[in-house]
């Protein structure tokens, strides 16, 4: 599990807005669940996390009343070029035992990254597990995720299929990550070659999200991706 730890605090400027996650093959690791802490003052920001400074690309605000918060990670500064301009939304659940235990965080926006499940959005990051400290804040988490997006750790993956592609065919990984960023995160750059393959399979009546997952998982080979789609 990659260790990425940054200090500091984050002011929560506005309200987050969830967007739906997509389906796919079940490759993500399971994560435990815990109770949620009611947000203080009618769902307003927790005073512990207010601060005067903000880093570009980080937005955090309450969502779904008192029991859940959503955060956007927008235009990741210094991130990998294949995700440049993408806006990645997170779900953050605060347990009753916070800050002595970490928040539960997952990606709502679908992403092609070795350390994030392309199915569930689960994240492989040590400060969200055994390396959490009570002095850490939500800003710590967001900055650590920003760094994780900029530099993946394929030898300690959350998604083995993505990690294998990252190591065995780096150029294909970049093109695939760029396409996912375009389709799901609103990034401006896509891959015309891969987009054409998607459209050809969609024209056969297959679900678009299923087509993207199948082609991405099968190294963009149309024949094997079609076999996978038919088997499902």
Q: Which residue has the higher pLDDT, 88 or 229?
A: 229
Taking all residues of the chain, what is their mean pLDDT, rounded to a whole number? 76
Interatomic CA distance for residues 201 and 225, integer angstroms: 9
Quickly state the pLDDT bin for 232 (edges 50, 70, 90). Answer: confident
Selected catalytic residue, list 108, 124, 138, 148: 124
Q: How many CA atoms within 13 Å lie on the side-chain side of 72?
A: 19
Whether the CB-CB separation of 183 and 175 falls below 8 Å is answered with no
- Top pLDDT among 86 and 41 is at 86
122 bridge partner residues: 106
> Would residue 124 show up in a list of annotated catalytic residues for this protein?
yes
**In which band, very low, low, confident or very high, does the pLDDT at 9 lie, cut at 50, 70 and 90?**
very low
Q: Angle, nearest 10°, between helix axes 222-231 and 208-217?
A: 130
Instruction: Report yes or no: 16 and 72 within 8 Å, Cβ to Cβ.
Output: yes
The alpha carbon of residue 4 and the mean position of all alpha carbons in its chain are separated, in whole angstroms, by: 15
Omega before residue 3 within 30° of 0, cis: no
Q: Which residue in 148, 139, 152, 62 sits closest to 99, CA to CA?
A: 139
Q: Please report which confidence band the pLDDT of residue 17 belongs to, taking 50, 70 and 90 as the band edges.
A: very low
Q: What is the pLDDT of residue 71?
A: 60
Among the residue ranges 73-87, 129-143, 200-214, the one predicted with the least confidence is 73-87
The H or E element spanning position 90 is strand 87-93
Whether the Cβ atoms of residue 228 and residue 218 lie closer than 8 Å to each other: yes
Query: Residue 150: is its pLDDT beyond 60?
Result: yes
pTM of the model: 0.73
Q: Which residue has the higher pLDDT, 202 or 50?
A: 202
Rg (the chain; Cα; Å):
18
pLDDT at 12: 36
| Residues 178-197, mean pLDDT to the nearest whole number | 91
Phi, psi (deg, nearest 5) at residue 93: -115, 125
Question: Whole-angstrom Cα distance, residue 23 to residue 15?
Answer: 26
What average pLDDT does this structure show over 193-205?
Answer: 97
Residue 51: band (very low, low, confident or very high) from pLDDT cuts 50, 70, 90: very low
pLDDT in tens, 161-170: 999 999 999 9
pLDDT at 61 over 80: no
Q: Which residue has the tokens 């690791």?
A: 29
Cα–Cα distance for residue pair 143/162, rounded to 1 Å: 23
What is the rounded average pLDDT of the residues 57-73? 56
The domain spans of the chain are 59-167
pLDDT band for 178, please (50, 70, 90 cuts): very high
Class (C level, CATH) for 59-167: alpha beta
H or E segment and range at residue 68:
strand 68-74
Task: Answer whether 129's CB lies under 8 Å from 30's CB.
Answer: no
């Amino acid at each position: 599990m990659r260790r990425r730890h940054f200090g500091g605090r984050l002011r929560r400027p506005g309200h987050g807005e969830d967007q739906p996650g997509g389906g796919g093959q079940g490759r993500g690791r399971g994560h435990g669940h815990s109770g949620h802490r009611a947000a203080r003052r009618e769902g307003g920001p927790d005073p512990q996390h207010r601060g005067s400074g903000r880093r570009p690309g980080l937005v955090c605000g309450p969502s779904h009343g008192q029991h859940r918060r959503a955060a956007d990670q927008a235009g990741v500064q210094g991130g990998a070029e294949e995700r440049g301009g993408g806006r990645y939304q997170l779900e953050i659940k605060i347990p009753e035992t916070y800050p002595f235990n970490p928040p539960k965080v997952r990606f709502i926006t679908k992403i092609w990254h070795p350390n994030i499940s392309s199915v569930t959005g689960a994240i492989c990051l040590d400060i969200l597990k055994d390396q959490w400290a009570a002095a850490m804040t939500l800003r710590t988490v967001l900055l650590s995720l920003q760094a994780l997006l900029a530099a993946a750790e394929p030898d300690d993956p959350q998604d083995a299929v993505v990690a294998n592609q990252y190591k065995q065919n780096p150029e294909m990984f970049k093109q695939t990550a760029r396409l996912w960023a375009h389709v799901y995160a609103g990034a401006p750059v896509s891959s015309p070659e891969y987009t054409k393959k998607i459209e050809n399979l969609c024209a056969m009546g297959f679900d678009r999200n299923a087509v993207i997952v199948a082609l991405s998982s099968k190294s963009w080979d149309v024949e094997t991706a079609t076999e996978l789609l038919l088997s499902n």
